[in-house]
Amino acid sequence: MAMLHTVNKSPFERVSLDSCISMAKKGSSVLLIEDGVYGALKGTKVADKVSKAMDGITFYVLGPDLAARGMTEERIISGIKVVDYAGFVDLTTKHENFQAWL
């Protein structure tokens, strides 16, 4: 059973992304939204942690939140998929349950 997790907090500021990664099972997905999108950037001090978690978890990032924060797709860790709000809705339908790491 595949679960969708959202993380909306900056990984530089809070532990939500860490907690999410440590409790997301293999085969589940994590969608980074709002201030959580900073977790998708490459070359940061948390990028390695995210890259490692991608072995087993699929990562997505919300494009409109990235753009709002001045981040273009080429700054994103390779393999993280960018989705819009319609894609966010699709992800919730395609996973069997949902947890927001507030």
Partner 1 sequence: MKFGILINEGPFTHQAADTAYQFAKAAVAAGHEIFRVFFYHDGVNVASDLAVPPQDDRNVTDNWVKLAEANNIDMVVCIAAAQRRGLLDANEAQRQGKRADNIAPVFRISGLGQLVEAGIECDRLVTFGD
Partner 2 sequence: MAEPWEEENEGKVKKFMFINRKAPYGTIYALESLEVVLITAAFDQDVSLVFTDDGVFQIKKGQTTAGIGMKNFSPTYRALEGYDIEKLYVDKESLDARGLTAEDLIVDVEVMSRAQLADLMNEQDVVMSF
- Cβ distance 46 to 17 under 8 Å? yes
* Footprint of partner 2 on 53-82 (CB under 8 A): 63-65, 67-72, 75
Q: How far is C-alpha 47 from the chain's CA centre?
A: 12
**What is the SS3 assignment for 39?**
helix
d(CA 16, CA 8): 8
Verify binding: residue 15, a second copy, rule CB under 8 A: yes
CA distance to 16, 22, 29, per residue, from 3 (Å): 16, 14, 6
From partner 2, partner 1, a second copy, none, interface partner of 45 (C-beta below 5 to 8 A by class)? partner 2
Q: Pattern of binders to partner 1 over 49-68, x per CB under 8 A?
A: ---------------xx---
Q: How far is the CB of 13 from partner 2 (least distance, A)?
A: 5
Q: How far is the CB of 33 from partner 1 (least distance, A)?
A: 6
- Cβ distance 6 to 31 under 8 Å? yes
Contact residues for partner 2 (CB under 8 A)?
1, 3, 8-10, 12-13, 15, 19, 22-25, 28, 34-35, 38, 41-45, 47, 63-65, 67-72, 75, 84, 97-102
